Amino acid sequence: MANRVAIVGIGQTTHSGRRPYVNDGELIYDAVTKALEDAGLTINDMEAVMAGNMDFFEGHHLNDAMLNLYSGAAGRPGFKMNTGGTVGTMTAIQGWYHVASGLYDVVLAIGWEKHDEGLVTPAISTITDPAVDRHFLVGAIGGLATVSVAYMQRSGCKLEHAAMVRANSSQAAHRNPNAHMREIYSVEDVMSARMVMYPLNLLMCCPTSLGATAMVLASESKAKKICKKPVWMKDHVTVHVEYGGAQFGIGEKRWTSHMEAGAKLFKRNHITKPMVETQVFEMYDPFAFAIPMWLEDFLVCEPNEGWKLVEKGALKLEGEYPVSPSGGVLCTNSIGDSAILRIAEAALQVRGDGGEHQVTRDVKQALASGFGGSYWSDLLLLSKTID
């Protein structure tokens, strides 16, 4: 039986588009310091330190080792995971394995990215096969525009619904002091933004941001001793799928990584009504159609119902099922940090420490997701209590 694992400390930097006078190590140090302060611990209490990030975005090889003076990993155990957009959730899951395996009691997991020191799209373009399709797919948007069109055709979702999603996210991000794009946009503002790749216009795409998030994870016995409000990492699912056309889940027989992840997680935890049994979802939502489409894909709501929930205003911060109350990836996307930030924000909601962007529902359980690679997913279930 695995050791149970709790989040006992959370820290994040403020996020922005450009900070030329701060280096990546300093970002990490900032997040780590805040997480340790939140946990009431020092770096000397950390038995292992793990850091996740994407090599090509800043152009550093083995940067977990390179920046280990800033992260506190110097002289401690740890190693690096790298799985694309999911790297943040993967690093937290790596922390989970460190503790659940019984090898460690208190560990530190860090995700970071500093996109102003590199070019995102050229780096993302190299995810495709050099011999087959590197010449066709440009960055992440090619695939995501394709699935958005497919979703519109399949479900009846309109461009306006995506604009509503983005307008909601801007309202949420405005209340989150750590978010990158905090400007408030109306549906009309979003609709009139410049088209990038149909149907995604500029505001319907996530920005390129910089920032870092750190979390202290502890075993059950330790967490109960040192933390008043531990948030339990109750379960996690990772689903990776084959690389190729089928990755997008277009066509009649759709069964995507998100569907597999949702099905597994809900079955294992006996959740039959996800929108009742979990009260908030911090989703990795890198484009505006993601929220309605992936709520369906994660099996949180019925097929073709996602955009109707958007229309009803149900997914707003004060709605019946708030999604990404932090403003989500749509307003802040520092890739190596984006997914771990979803867990951190969901955990803050569970603790009731969301501040101005705390949802109105009483949160007992929360979902957090990561997205990356060739349509890969990580899905986590956080809980206020452990039975």
Partner 1 sequence: MAGRVGIVAASTTKFEAAKPHEHLMDLVVEVTDKVVEAAGINLKDDVEAVVSCSQDFWDGRTISSMPIPDAVCSHLKDESKVAGDGAYAVLYGAMHILSGDNKLILVVSHCEESITDGTMIENWSIDHIYHRWLGLDYTMGAAMQARRYMDKYKVTPEQFAKVVVKNKGNARKNKLAQEAMELTVDQVLKSKMLADPITALQKKPVSDGACAMILASEEVAKKLTPNPVWITGVGNFYEHHNLGDRDLAECDALIKSTKRAYKMAGISNPVKDLDLVELSEYYAPQELLWTEGLGLCGRGEGGKLIDSGKTQLKGEIPVNPSGGLLSGAPVIVAGMARVAEAVWQLQGKAGEHQVQGAKRAVAHGCDGLAGQMHCVLVLEKGGK
Name the residues that contact partner 1, by CB under 8 A. 1-3, 23, 54-56, 59-69, 73-84, 90, 93-94, 96-98, 100-103, 123-124, 126-131, 237-244, 255, 257, 260, 372-374
- CB of 268: closest distance to partner 1 in angstroms? 11
Q: Which is nearer to partner 1, 46 or 163 (CB)?
A: 46
- Tokens 């030329």 label which residue? 20
- CB of 99: closest distance to partner 1 in angstroms? 9
- Tokens 């279930």 label which residue? 381
Cα Rg of the chain (Å, integer): 19
Q: Which is nearer to partner 1, 79 or 198 (CB)?
A: 79
Query: Whole-angstrom Cα distance, residue 315 to residue 342?
Result: 16
- CB of 78: closest distance to partner 1 in angstroms? 6
Q: Which is nearer to partner 1, 182 or 222 (CB)?
A: 222
- CB of 73: closest distance to partner 1 in angstroms? 5
Q: What is the DSSP letter of 377?
A: E
- CA proximity to 245, closest of 375, 131, 121, 377: 375
- Tokens 């989703």 label which residue? 283
- CB of 102: closest distance to partner 1 in angstroms? 4
- CB of 340: closest distance to partner 1 in angstroms? 14
- CB of 200: closest distance to partner 1 in angstroms? 21
Q: Could you tell me if 85 and 338 are in contact, meaning their C-beta atoms sit under 8 angstroms apart?
A: yes
Query: Whole-angstrom Cα distance, residue 292 to residue 323?
Result: 10
Q: Which residues pair with 219 in a beta bridge?
A: 5
Q: Which is nearer to partner 1, 334 or 358 (CB)?
A: 334
296 class by beta-carbon count within 10 Å (0-12 exposed, 13-18 middle, 19+ buried): buried
Residue 160, Cα to own-chain centre: how many angstroms? 24
Q: Which is nearer to partner 1, 74 or 202 (CB)?
A: 74
Q: Which is nearer to partner 1, 82 or 304 (CB)?
A: 82
Residue 29's H or E segment, with its range, is helix 24-39
Dihedral in degrees, nearest 10, Cα atoms 244, 203, 335, 91 = -90
Enumerate long-range contacts of 242-245, CB under 8 Å, 24 or more apart: 242/374, 243/129, 243/374, 244/374
Query: Whole-angstrom Cα distance, residue 3 to residue 210?
Result: 34
Q: Which is nearer to partner 1, 64 or 220 (CB)?
A: 64
